[in-house]
Amino acid sequence: MCPATEVDTTSPRETARAGSTALTVERLCKTYGETTALDGVSFSVGHNEIVGLVGPNGAGKTTTINMVLGVLEPSSGTIHVEGVDIAAQRSRALQSTNFAAVYAPLPGNLTVCQNLRVFGLIYAVSDLKARIDFLLEQFELEHFRNIKCGLLSSGEQTRVGLAKAMLNRPRLLLLDEPTASLDPATAREIRARIHDFAMQDSTGVLWTSHNMYEVEEVCDRVLFLARGRILLEGNPRTLPREHGKNSLEELFVTVAREPLSLGVG
């Protein structure tokens, strides 16, 4: 049995019907035998909104992302992308979605350009050549156009993954620790670029990170996930003070270790 954990005051489905959400997740549960990985999670991501999904290792962040991507079936609950139920119309829902994750690099035996062309065809991107050229320029990858991805540094591979994630101008972008392997200077540039892309294309972004500085800088809203449940939600810049903490990192540690001291969990 998965009880619902709802901290969002608006019903996700109501917002989805109004056509203003990129992602609506309702009462999502995932169990593996006796183990509960996700326990009644509900939230939504609006267009032009970047939502941070943070939590300790094993909290259920990647499980949530995998379910939204259709590679993991929920035990119960629903996921709507742009109002389209992913369980009923997987291909249609994923047509307007894309993702980048540090643990899912593109095939290293294809060049940057070949990888982008293959995925561009899968997403049926119009005027693919121009789109690839634009993204190579945006992510400073022109010099690596004909280099095999496996020969690139991890930071360069991350940028190729992000270029792939932007190929189809997704309305929902899922980023699982997108700057984990980047140096601070490159990470800052990439954060700014992702933000610009999201705003230009009215994209909703779900962004997981262990870097609280990054979450504070980039995200409009943050969800604290622990033990498969969303325990806190709010503005990352004001949420720490609301709970008597000096920083988001301090709040993170408290949520991860002593959630009861905050009256949650």
Partner 1 sequence: MFITRTFAIVLRQAYLIRGSFSRLFPLFAWVAVDIVLWGFITKYLNSVTASGFNFVPVLLGAVLLWDFLIRVMQGVTMAFFEDVWSRNFLNIFATPLSISEYLGGLVISSIATSAVGLAVMFALATTVFGLSFMTYGLMIVPYLLTLFLCGIALGIFSSAVVLRMGPAAEWFIWPIPALISPFAGVFYPIATLPKWMQYVSELLPPSYVFEGMRAVVTGGSFSLSALLWGGCLAILYVLLAAWFFARTYRYAVRTGLLARYSAESVS
Q: Kindly list the residues in this chain that would bind partner 1 in the complex (CB under 8 A).
A: 30, 32, 62, 66, 69-73, 90-92, 94-95, 99, 101, 103-104, 106-111, 114, 117-119, 121-124, 164
Residue 63 beta carbon to partner 1: minimum distance, rounded to whole angstroms: 8
How far apart (Å, rounded) are the C-alpha atoms in residues 156 and 210? Answer: 20
15/75 with CB nearer partner 1? 75
Residue 124 beta carbon to partner 1: minimum distance, rounded to whole angstroms: 5
87/264 with CB nearer partner 1? 87
Q: How far is CA 197 from CA 58, 180, 190, 209, 250, in A?
A: 30, 19, 10, 19, 30
How far apart (Å, rounded) are the C-alpha atoms in residues 250 and 56? Answer: 13
44/66 with CB nearer partner 1? 66
71/88 with CB nearer partner 1? 71
Residue 152 beta carbon to partner 1: minimum distance, rounded to whole angstroms: 14
Residue 150 beta carbon to partner 1: minimum distance, rounded to whole angstroms: 9
136/248 with CB nearer partner 1? 136
